[in-house]
Every structure is written in C-alpha cells, then in structure tokens.
C-alpha cells in the first residue's frame, strides 16, 4: 500500500484487504464498483498473484471490468457464471440493519443484480458511511431516458405520501449533459434527508413507470467490513449477530496498488 494515502483511503484499503480474506479458492465473485471496491479488486489480484488463488470475477461496471482485466483476473459475465458465491462491494450509506444506499457511482442496477445473484454479500466501507438512519446521501434511482421528466414528476408526487424529510429530485449530470449509465439509462437523485421506511420506499419506487431500479439495498448485505485510518477493522455479521475487531498492518507493496479510481 502506498505510504502517502490520505486517512479515508487508508480506511478503505484496510477494509478491502480484510474483506478479501473471505475469498476461497474456486469461488465465483461479484466485483463491486467505486473507489473502495477498486481497492478490493487490487487486493484480490494480489492474492491471486501471490497465492495462486483461482477465482472468477463478475464485474458490476465497465470500470471494474477494465481494472480487473488489467490486473490479470479471470473476468466473466453473469450470464456465463449464472450464480455467485460472494459479492464484495462498497456502499454510500449503511444502517444498523445493514440496509444500504448505493449508486453514487451510477452502477446500482448491475450492482443489485449481481448482489442478489450471490449466496452472500460483503460491504466494505470507512466508518463515515455508517448512519443511524438512511437518507443523508441522495438516493439514486435509475430511469429510462424516454419520458424521464414524467417519471421525475411521478416520483415527486409519490414522495408526498412517504416518510421522508425532503422531496427534492434532480437529474444527475455529466458535465453539461445527463449522465448515461452502462445500461444507457439516466439517474435521478432523490435528496430526502431522512428515510423513515426504506423497505416501503424501495417497493413503491419500483412500481413507477420508467423506473428501472432504485439504490436501496434491503436485506441483501450479510456482512459489513468497516476500516479505520489506523488499520483497525470491524467485521459485523448481521446473520450471526457478531462483531469481530481486527488490525491490518501496513506494509510496502508494489505498483499493483497504483492509481486507485
């Protein structure tokens, strides 16, 4: 690991390094998207290189596919693999029940498909992602481009009856143009402040015409690995009801960790 990482990146790195300890030889893995997941892909590639670990990876975005391929990992599509042993991914927020908000990297659709096609999902995060209640991070909703303004209006109308603090909805932009996802859709960001009933909101949003998927991951995550800048790691297993504290010791390494996205 490079010695000049800032504290947040150090926390992400140790969480990622601890999470890949769950990977066993022969596993079929879902590879998440985002800055924390990029560390995980690098740590996984290091184990493959140093231990001869044999794994198959299903990326959740083009970015992750390009990184994994560049590091020599065996990359396949979900259609080829069909079912996965484990998915490791980041999150924008997680609550005490390990419900998540994801989609800050605009890959929520593929991330949710891959996660739900896995026996287990592990989330890796720094401590700042932990919240008592979801909603401070804008909730991404992937919508088809056709009639997106009508879909936006329907979402705003629906939010009136939901237990949320705010109801602002904005189209995510990429410069001067709407952002386009890997599936050629747009992202609407819901600035809600607080979500009183995430399960209800997730169900209602997906009933709106034009909505493809929302960024609420309910009852999908099994374990969260939380990293700290000093190398401390906490592993919380929602099913076993356990919390395990570990320490990751930093050590010099080579350029497999260069330029995380």
Ligand-binding site membership of 158 (annotated): no
Cβ–Cβ < 8 Å for 238, 221:
yes
Ligand-binding site membership of 241 (annotated): no
Please check whether residue 144 lies inside any domain of the structure: yes
**Could you read off the pLDDT of 127-157 as tens digits, one per residue?**
999 999 999 999 999 999 999 999 999 999 9
Please check whether residue 46 lies inside any domain of the structure: yes
Please check whether residue 68 lies inside any domain of the structure: yes
Give the phi and the psi of residue 41 in degrees, each rounded to 5: -60, -40
My answer on whether 225 and 205 are in the same domain is no
**Could you read off the pLDDT of 93-130 as tens digits, one per residue?**
999 999 999 999 999 999 999 999 999 999 999 999 99
Ligand-binding site membership of 45 (annotated): no
Please check whether residue 134 lies inside any domain of the structure: no
pLDDT at 41 over 50: yes
Ligand-binding site membership of 227 (annotated): no
**Could you read off the pLDDT of 225-250 as tens digits, one per residue?**
999 999 999 999 999 999 999 999 87
pLDDT at 187 over 60: yes
Ligand-binding site membership of 90 (annotated): yes
My answer on whether 145 and 199 are in the same domain is yes
My answer on whether 211 and 225 are in the same domain is no
My answer on whether 121 and 91 are in the same domain is yes
My answer on whether 20 and 55 are in the same domain is yes
My answer on whether 239 and 182 are in the same domain is no
Structural domains of the chain, count = 2
My answer on whether 113 and 228 are in the same domain is yes
My answer on whether 46 and 170 are in the same domain is no
Read off the CATH number of the domain in which 111 is found: 3.40.50.1360
CA 14, 138, 178: angle at the middle one, nearest 5? 105
Please check whether residue 1 lies inside any domain of the structure: no
pLDDT at 261 over 50: no
Give the phi and the psi of residue 154 in degrees, each rounded to 5: -65, -40
Which one of 111, 142, 213, 228 is the catalytic residue?
A: 111
Instruction: Kindly report the average pLDDT of the chain as a whole number.
Output: 95
Ligand-binding site membership of 36 (annotated): yes
My answer on whether 77 and 89 are in the same domain is yes
My answer on whether 19 and 100 are in the same domain is yes
My answer on whether 47 and 109 are in the same domain is yes
Select from 75, 53, 55 the least CA-distant residue to 63: 75
Ligand-binding site membership of 32 (annotated): no
Sign of the torsion formed by the C-alpha atoms of 122, 261, 9 and 54: positive
pLDDT at 57: 98
Crossing angle of helices 35-51 and 62-70, in 10° steps, is: 30
Read off the CATH number of the domain in which 175 is found: 3.30.70.260
My answer on whether 97 and 166 are in the same domain is no
Please check whether residue 69 lies inside any domain of the structure: yes
| Known active-site residue 51 | no
The arrangement of strands across the sheet holding 216-217 comes to 93-94, 100-101, 216-217
Ligand-binding site membership of 132 (annotated): no
DSSP code string of the chain: --TT--HHHHHHHHHHHHHGGG--TT-EEEE--SHHHHHHHHHHHHHHHHH----EEEESSHHHHHHHHHTT-EE--HHHH-SBSEEEE--SEE-TT--EE--TTS-HHHHHHHHHTBS-EEEEEEGGGB-SSS-SS-EEEEE-STTHHHHHHHHHHHHTTSSBS--EEEE-EETTEE---TTS-EEEEEE-S-BS-HHHHHHHHTTSTTEEEESEE-S---EEEEE-TTSEEEEEETTTTEEEEEEPPP----GGGSS--
Cβ–Cβ < 8 Å for 44, 55:
yes
The domain of 165 spans: 139-215
Of the residues 183, 199, 215, the one at which a domain ends: 215
């Amino acid at each position: 690991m490079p010695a000049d990482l800032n504290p947040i990146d150090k926390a992400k790195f140790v969480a990622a390094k601890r999470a890949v300890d769950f990977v066993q030889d022969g596993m079929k893995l879902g590879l998440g998207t985002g800055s924390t997941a990029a560390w995980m892909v690098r740590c996984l590639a290091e184990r493959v290189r140093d231990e001869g670990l044999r794994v198959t990876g299903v990326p959740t975005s083009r970015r992750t596919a390009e990184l994994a391929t560049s590091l020599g990992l065996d990359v396949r599509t979900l259609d080829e693999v069909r079912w996965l042993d484990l998915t490791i991914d980041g999150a924008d927020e997680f609550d005490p029940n390990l419900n998540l908000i994801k989609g800050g990297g605009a890959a929520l659709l593929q991330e949710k498909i891959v996660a739900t096609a896995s026996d287990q999902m592990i989330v890796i995060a720094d401590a700042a992602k932990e919240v008592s209640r979801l909603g401070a991070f804008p909730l991404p909703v992937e919508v088809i481009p056709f009639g997106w303004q009508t879909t936006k209006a329907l979402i705003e109308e629906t939010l009136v009856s939901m237990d949320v603090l705010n109801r602002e909805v904005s189209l995510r932009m990429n410069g001067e143009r709407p952002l386009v996802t890997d599936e050629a859709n747009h992202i609407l960001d819901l600035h809600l402040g607080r979500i009183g009933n995430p399960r209800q909101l997730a169900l209602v949003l997906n009933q709106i015409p034009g909505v493809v998927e929302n960024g609420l991951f309910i009852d999908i995550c099994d374990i969260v690995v939380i990293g700290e800048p000093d190398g401390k790691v906490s592993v919380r297993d929602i099913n076993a009801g356990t919390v395990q504290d570990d320490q990751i010791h930093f050590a010099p390494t080579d350029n497999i960790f260069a330029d995380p996205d």
